[in-house]
Amino acid sequence: MFFNKNRQQTLLRFSAVTLPLFSFNAIAQFNDSATLDQIVVETQQVSAKTSSTNSQQISRGLVWNEQDLVRWQTGVTVTEGGRGGANGYTMRGVESDRVAMSVDGISAVESYMPRFYYIKGFYNGNRNSTEIENLSSVEFNKGANSLTQGSGALGGSVSMRTKNVHDFVDSNKTVGFYAKTAYSSRNTEYRQVIGGGSSRVTPRDCCNTPIAMHMKTKITTVAN
């Protein structure tokens, strides 16, 4: 068999020269940069239909439960859930878990109905809420807004804020108290509420921090 050594040497020399050239071209193409045309995107925030209720309106309006809370809200209702609570809020024909609820930014759990309740004769699951007298403000956002309120806000959302020490203490005071007594002829119930707070600075505090707050509600049913 005849083998040409000169040809083999020529091919090796050609490969040794060609490979560095290809590598240099690849590096040159990688280092090249291109400038794209500038694109300007303009957005416009559409304000949602929002209404709110504060603690003063709740107290002066004799708000007793969730149904009274939406008394002056157009397009917002509460689905009755018996004396044990309610099934959530209804907005624009959408109800229950499809209307998001949050308390101090924390989403409320969805309605549930354990099998144990069926044995006892209860066939209605309610959504968790909060004590009406503990609310500082309630904001109703009508319309789908899952982008800002999270999943579940198909019909809208209800955002609740609870009271802090400033709801009990005036700006020029350090201690404040709150007391309220109410009676409902609908359910023959008495409601007694007492609360207080203090923003006094103690030696341990380095800033004006609320150091005490307490809110207690007592509901008594009068037998007929």
Residue 17's pLDDT is what? 46
Can you say how many angstroms the Cα of residue 224 is from the centroid of all Cα atoms in its chain?
A: 41
Is 133 in the same domain as 181? no
Domain that holds residue 202: 165-224
Residue 14: inside a domain:
no
Average pLDDT over residues 61-78: 82
Which residues neighbour 133 within 8 Å (Cβ) at sequence distance 6 or greater? 58, 180, 191, 193, 195, 215, 217
Q: What is the dihedral of CA 218, 222, 223, 224, to 10 degrees?
A: -160
| Burial class of residue 105 in the structure, from the number of CB atoms within 10 Å of its CB (0-12 exposed, 13-18 middle, 19+ buried) | exposed
Percent of the chain residues topping a pLDDT of 70: 57
Judgement on whether residues 133 and 173 belong to the same structural domain of the protein: no
The verdict on 128 and 202 lying in the same domain is no
Q: Which one has a higher pLDDT value, 72 or 120?
A: 72
Calculate the average pLDDT of the chain: 69
Q: Are residues 175 and 159 part of one domain?
A: no
pLDDT band, residue 31 (cuts 50/70/90): low
Q: For residue 178, is it within any domain?
A: yes
Q: Which two tokens stand for residue 88?
A: 């959530």
Q: Is residue 198 situated within a structural domain?
A: yes
* pLDDT for residue 109: 67
Of 142, 163, 184, which residue constitutes the final position of a domain?
163
Domain boundary among 138, 163, 188: 163
Angle subtended at Cα 145 by Cα 108 and Cα 70, rounded to the nearest 5 degrees = 60
Total domains present in the chain: 2
Residue 16 is predicted with a pLDDT of: 47
> Residue 1 has what pLDDT?
46
Q: Which of 122, 141, 163 is the last residue of a domain?
A: 163
**Does the pLDDT of residue 174 top 50, yes or no?**
yes
176 in a structural domain: yes
The pTM for the full model equals: 0.58
Average pLDDT over residues 164-185: 79
Sign of CA dihedral 90, 93, 96, 100: negative
* Residue 68 pLDDT > 80: yes
From residue 146, how far is each of 77, 89, 150, 159 by CA, in Å? 20, 16, 5, 13
pLDDT at 120: 56
Specify the length of the chain in residues: 224
Mean pLDDT, residues 129-146 taken together: 81
What pLDDT is recorded for position 201?
Answer: 54
Say whether both 156 and 174 belong to one domain.
no
CB of 185 within 8 A of CB of 199? no
